[in-house]
Amino acid sequence: MAWNRKQVRAGLAVTAAVTVALGVGIGAAGASGRQHWWGGGEKQPAPTSSPTSEVGSSPATQAPDAPPSVPATTAPPSPSATPSPTTSTSASPSAKPTVAPTASTRAATPTATSSPSATRTRTTAAATWTPPPGNARFDYQIGRPYPPASGVRVVSRDMEASPAPGLYNICYVNAFQAQPGAESWWKNNHPELLLRDARGNLVVDEGWNELMFDFSTAAKRTALTRIVGGWIDQCARKGFKAIEPDNLDSYLRSKGLLTHSQAVAYATSLASYAHGKGLAVAQKNLAELTTAEARRIGFDFAVAEECATWNECDAYTRTYGDRVIVIEYTRSSFDKACRSHGSTLSVVLRDLNVTAPGSGSYVSKAC
């Protein structure tokens, strides 16, 4: 979730407290709510497997290695399926189909649909995937999951949750930054994958108080894809139909250390891996991404936070047509989105902390 990304860049108030130290742990996220999405900082089970993926390689033609499990005392607090990574680059797994193949067939390295009206179901030699239906009622449940309201057809939930039965489920994955509570694991096991400035200091996304990943080289992108690939495996095993890899725009907060092209290359690696597991892939925010780049990466649809607030919704519809999910966090912006795009897109109003019914701050409305 990146509801306050542009507010931070614009210099508006940020509620998260930031604690930055040289080479030492960083505290949990502040009161803006992200810490609520990941089990309150509880330690999760140790990782058990490790996928592999090269940028631009085909998951359908690759096979994973399986390094030993990481002891529970060193496992990252978030996702239970996080693998014990190695530096091996033997390639990524073939995957079982999750939907019936159609006549529309993709090459080994997936690309996005050529137009918003293109055939929805896509295939590789080993996997098929289908984006969510356009303009279908949506519920954003990346906080605590709860039974969806009548009429909801598409749900996004955190990867630690189970899919909502009978619906199209999107799996939320923080793919470009470290989750609060996982800092020690990353520092102890993969300090080379954490972004540092010229003085060796860890670079922090101050809006969420999260360490930033370093995806500046092909080797680092491969290593990160191996780790995030374990989380993607977990989403696929649970029965999710798509992933929502968050913080694609993290390079904008990297103090110039990461670039747009590096983010595109890393996103391409993640999309290729997810497609090999039979999962569609969402572009999460970053209206600056061009249609050509989205196609090159392989994005299938978009999840756009506050696109009405920032007058960006058309930037997404130009690429994905009606396959855009809009989330607004203020009533005025929600009403604006409903007026401009409510007849063609999935538009929801949620509270900033994406809480569940029963919470005093819970809000959930659809056009």
Residue-wise pLDDT for 51-65, tens only, equals 333 333 333 333 333
Domain count, the chain: 1
Residue 122: what pLDDT? 72
Higher pLDDT, 141 or 15: 141
> DSSP label at 303?
E
Look up residue 68 and give its amino acid. Answer: P
3-state secondary structure of 86: coil
Say which residue, 260 or 27, is predicted with more confidence. 260
Euclidean distance between CA atoms 26 and 182, whole angstroms = 9
Burial (CB < 10 A; 0-12, 13-18, 19+), residue 366, is: middle
pLDDT, average across residues 149-155: 97
Distance in angstroms (rounded) separating the CA atoms of residues 45 and 313 = 39
- Alpha helices, H only, the chain: 5-10, 183-189, 218-238, 260-276, 291-297, 313-320, 331-341
pLDDT of the residue at 124: 62
> Which phi and psi (to 5°) does residue 295 adopt?
-70, -40
Q: State yes or no: pLDDT of 150 exceeds 80.
A: yes
| CATH number (domain holding residue 246) | 3.20.20.70
- Give yes or no for residue 16 having a pLDDT over 90: no
- The pLDDT of residue 216 is 98
CA-CA distance, 303 to 112, in Å (whole number)? 15
pLDDT digits (tens, 9 = 90+) for 186-204: 999 999 999 999 999 999 9
Q: Which of 18-22, 102-106, 320-324 has the highest mean pLDDT?
A: 320-324
User: 3-class SS at 336?
Assistant: helix
Quick check: 140 pLDDT over 90? yes
Mean pLDDT of 122-128: 71
Please tell me which of 19-28, 65-74, 119-128, 211-220 the model is most confident about, judged by mean pLDDT. 211-220
Q: Look at residue 180 in the predicted model and tell me its pLDDT.
A: 86
- Whether the CA torsion 42, 33, 145, 85 is positive or negative: it is negative
pTM above 0.75, yes or no: no
pLDDT digits (tens, 9 = 90+) for 284-301: 999 999 999 999 999 999
CB 340 within 8 A of CB 328: no
Tell which residue, 89, 95, 92, 43, has the closest CA to residue 70. Answer: 43
Strands (E), the chain: 122-123, 128-129, 138-141, 154-158, 168-174, 204-205, 210-211, 242-246, 280-284, 301-305, 324-328, 346-350, 364-366
Q: State yes or no: pLDDT of 254 exceeds 80.
A: yes
pLDDT of residue 263: 98
pLDDT at res. 210:
95
pLDDT of residue 26: 28
* pLDDT for the residue 118: 40
Domain boundaries, position 173: 5-366
Question: Above 80 in pLDDT, residue 172?
Answer: yes
Name the band, by pLDDT with cuts 50, 70 and 90, for residue 283: very high
pLDDT band at residue 123 under the 50/70/90 scheme = low
pLDDT of residue 312: 97
**Is the predicted pLDDT of residue 222 greater than 60, yes or no?**
yes
Burial of 246 (0-12, 13-18, 19+ CB in 10 A): buried
What's 36's DSSP letter? G
**Mean pLDDT score, 311-331:** 98
pLDDT at 120: 55
Residue with tokens 């800092």: 183
